[in-house]
Homo-oligomer: A and B are copies of this chain.
Amino acid sequence: MSQYRTFTAADAVAYAQQFGGFDDPTMLVDAQEVGDGNLNLVFKILDPQGVSRIIVKQALPYVRCVGETWPLTIDRARLEAQTLVAHYQHSPQHTVNILHYDASLAVMVMEDLSDHRIWRGELVRGQHYPQATTQLGEYLAQTLFHTSDFWLHPHEKKAQVARFINPEMCEITEELFFNDPYQPHARNNYPAALEPQVVALRSDKALKLAVAQLKYRFLTQAEALLHGDIHSGSIFVAEGSLKVIDAEFGYVGPVGFDIGTAVGNLLLNYCALPGHFGPRDADSYREQRLEDIRVLWLTFAGRFSALALNNTRDSALATEGYVAHFLQKVWTDAVGFCGTELIRRTIGLSHVADLESIEDKEMRLACVGAAIELGRFLILIAEQIDSVDELIARVRQKS
């Protein structure tokens, strides 16, 4: 078997020639490294005209944005590839197609999506993709339903739990989401001017108790094979199309987590919009974002319900009324996880361009402060927000 080595551009081209599935592999002649994420090398493999034809992605054995002092398992490439392959099976329209992967090289070959753009950038520049939230809701319903106990035979479900045990990537979430922002930590990263707000969070007992409950659900609730890191930066969009990528945080966890981080990133954008379009002109964009959240949840809940009502294999879970009860719990979880996403993206290590790219410093501070406050608020009242309309009303009321 091949042993791990870090790919050069030439390695990536040779690998794509071998595993890209092209009739004429000699058409692949060059590679361009475009990885701007935190963890991986990403090569676009180019044809003689300089057009990207396919992607080679390799996991590095450390956190790229921090350096070799933070080592990280390359087994995450297997977990990412297997998660995407499983999700592709249930939502081929909205999952990037993995053509090949090799666990020992921590490398995968996947379809090129150069005709798509990262959704986050589009949201920041006010470019609306009207179908995106419907498609994301559809993706979440299909992938989460078909990897849950509603659909899988209990033996398959348990085998899936074992196969997707993902300790190192889960640990990142466990720490960055649920620990760091609520205590002093060297990884935290926020403007000094927000110190009073951050200190207030750390001493908010009710908040920390609610966060502990959310962390416990993340640690123990093995409901479905999550993407584990759904946000507008791990989603490509084009006219009429949406494709999910970057699933190295995949594991069997609480369904509300994927929903919550998706909604959370739309709310981060909502909080940032005044910084890009000015307080008054931002209003129509903000209303669009709230409508996105409404459509996302209603599409997810509607599709999941339909799948569950028609296709649930477990006779007890098929009991009348159970799906509605289940989705209500998922919603409550999602609101809480959404709140933790707002806070970890503003106080914690990893930030979002929606807020970071606001040029005016005072405005940026105001938007970041609003996101922190909204996150805190949602975590605290998650159990009282019993519908997406109620969520939207509460968000409007806060801002």
B159 touches A161 (CB 8 A): no
A167 touches B179 (CB 8 A): no
A233 to chain B, nearest CB (A): 25
A316 touches B162 (CB 8 A): no
Known interface pairs A159-B165, A161-B165, A325-B213; A316-B178 also in contact (CB < 8 Å): yes
List chain A positions with a Cβ less than 8 A from chain B: 149, 154-155, 157-159, 161-162, 165-168, 170-171, 174, 178-179, 182-183, 205, 208-209, 211-213, 215-216, 219-223, 314-317, 319-322, 325-326
In the complex, A209 Cα to B320 Cα: how many Å? 7
B209 touches A321 (CB 8 A): yes
Instruction: Tell which of B158, B220, B223, B316 touches A170, judged by Cβ atoms closer than 8 Å.
Output: B158
Interface of A is mostly: helix
Q: Within 8 Å CB of A159, what residues of B?
A: 165, 167
In the complex, A166 Cα to B154 Cα: how many Å? 10
Q: Within 8 Å CB of A216, what residues of B?
A: 149, 316-317, 322, 326
Chain B minimum-CB-distance residue to A148: B220
8 smallest A-B Cβ distances: which pairs? Answer: A212-B319, A155-B167, A215-B316, A212-B322, A162-B162, A212-B316, A208-B319, A149-B219
Q: Within 8 Å CB of A213, what residues of B?
A: 322, 325
Q: Within 8 Å CB of A179, what residues of B?
A: 315-316
A154 touches B167 (CB 8 A): yes
- The count of identical subunits is 2
In the complex, A321 Cα to B315 Cα: how many Å? 37
B155 touches A171 (CB 8 A): yes
In the complex, A332 Cα to B204 Cα: how many Å? 27
Chain B minimum-CB-distance residue to A182: B316
Q: Within 8 Å CB of A149, what residues of B?
A: 216, 219-220
Q: Within 8 Å CB of A219, what residues of B?
A: 149, 154, 157, 314
Among A215, A219, A320, the most chain B Cβ lie within 10 Å of the Cβ of A219
Kindly list 10 other residue pairs between chains A and B, CB separation below 8 angstroms, not including A213-B322, A216-B322.
A158-B165, A161-B162, A183-B315, A205-B321, A209-B322, A211-B319, A212-B316, A216-B317, A219-B314, A220-B223
23 CB-based A-B contacts, threshold 8 Å: A154-B219, A155-B168, A155-B171, A158-B166, A159-B165, A159-B167, A161-B165, A161-B222, A162-B165, A178-B316, A182-B316, A205-B321, A209-B319, A209-B321, A211-B316, A213-B322, A215-B314, A216-B316, A216-B322, A216-B326, A220-B222, A221-B221, A221-B222
Q: Within 8 Å CB of A165, what residues of B?
A: 158-159, 161-162
A168 to chain B, nearest CB (A): 8
In the complex, A170 Cα to B154 Cα: how many Å? 9
Q: Within 8 Å CB of A208, what residues of B?
A: 316, 319-320
Chain B minimum-CB-distance residue to A174: B154
